[in-house]
Amino acid sequence: MKRVGIIGAGTMGTGIAQVAATYGYRVKLYDAKASALEHAKDSLRSILARLMEKGKITPSARLDILTNISFVTRLGDLEDSELIIEAIVEDLNVKKGIFTELDNCVSNNCIVASNTSSLSISSIASAFKRPDRCIGIHFFNPAPLMRLVEIIPAVQTSIEVISKAEKIIQSWGKTVVRAKDTPGFIVNRVARPFYGEALRIYDEGIADVPTIDYSLKKLGGFKMGPFELMDFIGNDVNYAVTESVFNAFFCDPRYKPSFTQKRLAEAGFLGRKSGKGYYNYDENAPVKEPIKDKKLNDQIFNRILVMLINEAADAVFWNIASSSDIDLAMIKGVNYPKGLLQWADEVGINWVVEEMDKLFDRYREERYRCSPILRDMLKDNKTFF
């Protein structure tokens, strides 16, 4: 029997448990707090009931999923798992503490994975006596709906573990991409300019929030504008990831956080979940219309697009992932309308280099340095695909 252990009964842990159980795995969902497990049970029953009502699953499938998941408060109950995925708070020391505890209660063949979105897998693995059995398996929220999973080997991870982990996750109906163990992996690294450059444009007073969002949706085909998406994610969560990536990259100015977002997070204006963020979600709040000016909208869209392309290209330059995996990750992980490197080929590498150089000439900031790979490709008349 295929057995999986999930550590952490929050939204992500419960979602991963649902995915594994749907594909016939026997799952043990662990949390030290019995109240968290009760909440997970109630949430899971509610989600499955809605899926059944909508005809997405049959009554027997609902029963099978519920039967496949057991809820435990002892870490030792995970001892017979062939794969354990940790999905707890984004705190390196807490995660390492859990991995150390697991040393005493899992088999030598068990794969131990972290669902961290940005922390070092190699550092987490160092807390385990068999670090070659450790790997990053990063799901996106909500786990049952989002197809993408990033697989991140630590420097210690064995080839056998990489292969086995990828096969298991693919058997759960997921699209797998492999990323180097660097801050943010693929998606949370490459997507930073979508938020960061939008905030920079706003902070400079070039345009207001609705106009920036309108420009990205109207001209780029993005389903949500950057401010809508930050409000959806939560300004506290989005800011924490930005700060984590910024610090992890030794304060590279490309990832510099915005004081605007920091202040909103400090004020409790977290977005949809608090009722107010960049937008006011009170039903009686006035709706501000965007400025629909072609020159302004083009300026906003082009600036954010070229920064996104530059970031994706730089990920290729530093061997974070392959060009195809980067584009696949951005489409499947954050619903971009197309891959950024495909976009680069379409608009022209020469345009990308010229636009990056214009930004650098204006600001003279390292934030706007053009990736060397783009200059090389322009010189050699190459494209990504």
Q: Are 99 and 116 in contact (CB under 8 A)?
A: no
Query: Amino acid letter at 364?
Result: R
User: Is 31 part of a structural domain of the chain?
Assistant: yes
CATH code, domain carrying 299: 1.10.1040.50
Residues 144 and 77 in one domain: yes
Last residue of a domain, one of 126, 144, 178: 178
**Measured CA distances, 66 to 18, 28, 47 (Å):** 8, 11, 11
Catalytic residue, chosen from 115, 117, 118, 238, is: 117
The verdict on whether 117 is a catalytic residue reads yes
Catalytic residue, chosen from 114, 188, 244, 371, is: 188
Segment 97-106, tens digit of pLDDT:
999 999 889 9
Q: Is residue 338 over pLDDT 70?
A: yes
Comparing CA positions, the residue from 373, 378, 333 lying closest to residue 185 is: 333
Tell me whether residue 46 is exposed, middle or buried, using C-beta atoms within 10 angstroms of its C-beta: 0 to 12, 13 to 18, 19 or more.
exposed
Domain count, the chain: 2
The count of residues in the chain is 385
Last residue of a domain, one of 144, 178, 212: 178
Segment 180-204, tens digit of pLDDT:
999 999 999 999 999 999 999 999 9
Comparing CA positions, the residue from 311, 86, 294 lying closest to residue 188 is: 311
User: Is 384 part of a structural domain of the chain?
Assistant: no
Q: Is residue 80 over pLDDT 70?
A: yes
Residues 107 and 251 in one domain: no
Q: Is residue 354 over pLDDT 90?
A: yes
Residues 91 and 145 in one domain: yes
**CB within 8 Å of 72: residues ≥ 6 apart:** 28, 29, 30, 37, 78
Cis amide linkage into residue 142, ω under 30° from 0: yes
User: Is 15 part of a structural domain of the chain?
Assistant: yes
Residues 229 and 256 in one domain: yes
The verdict on whether 150 is a catalytic residue reads yes
As a three-state string, the secondary structure of 24-87 is CCEEEEECCCHHHHHHHHHHHHHHHHHHHHCCCCCHHHHHHHHHHEEEECCHHHHCCCCEEEEC
The verdict on whether 104 is a catalytic residue reads no
**Considering the chain, what percentage of its residues have pLDDT values greater than 90?**
97
Q: Is residue 110 over pLDDT 80?
A: yes
CATH code, domain carrying 140: 3.40.50.720
pLDDT of residue 313: 98
Q: Which DSSP helix (H) or strand (E) runs through 7?
A: strand 3-7
Bigger pLDDT: 233 vs 380:
380
- Residue 175 has which token pair? 């699209």
User: Is 184 part of a structural domain of the chain?
Assistant: no
Catalytic residue, chosen from 68, 81, 138, 323, is: 138
Residues 233 and 211 in one domain: yes
Segment 221-277, tens digit of pLDDT:
999 999 999 999 999 989 998 998 999 999 999 999 999 999 999 999 999 999 999
Residues 322 and 210 in one domain: yes
pLDDT of residue 118: 83
Total Cβ atoms within 10 A of residue 218:
14
pLDDT band at 124 (very low <50, low <70, confident <90, very high): very high
User: Is 385 part of a structural domain of the chain?
Assistant: no
Residues 198 and 337 in one domain: yes
Q: Is residue 1 over pLDDT 80?
A: no
Residues 11 and 129 in one domain: yes
Predicted structure pTM score: 0.93
Tell me whether residue 159 is exposed, middle or buried, using C-beta atoms within 10 angstroms of its C-beta: 0 to 12, 13 to 18, 19 or more.
exposed
Domain that holds residue 137: 3-178
Q: Tell me how far apart the alpha carbons of residues 78 and 68 are, in angstroms, rounded to a whole number.
A: 14
Q: Tell me how far apart the alpha carbons of residues 205 and 201 are, in angstroms, rounded to a whole number.
A: 6
Q: Are 271 and 234 in contact (CB under 8 A)?
A: yes
**Considering the chain, what percentage of its residues have pLDDT values greater than 70?**
100
Residues 247 and 172 in one domain: no
Residues 208 and 323 in one domain: yes
User: Is 183 part of a structural domain of the chain?
Assistant: no
Q: Are 201 and 195 in contact (CB under 8 A)?
A: no
Residues 36 and 136 in one domain: yes
Catalytic residue, chosen from 150, 166, 197, 311, is: 150
- Residue 190 has which token pair? 């490459």
Residues 127 and 211 in one domain: no
pLDDT of residue 138: 98
The verdict on whether 138 is a catalytic residue reads yes
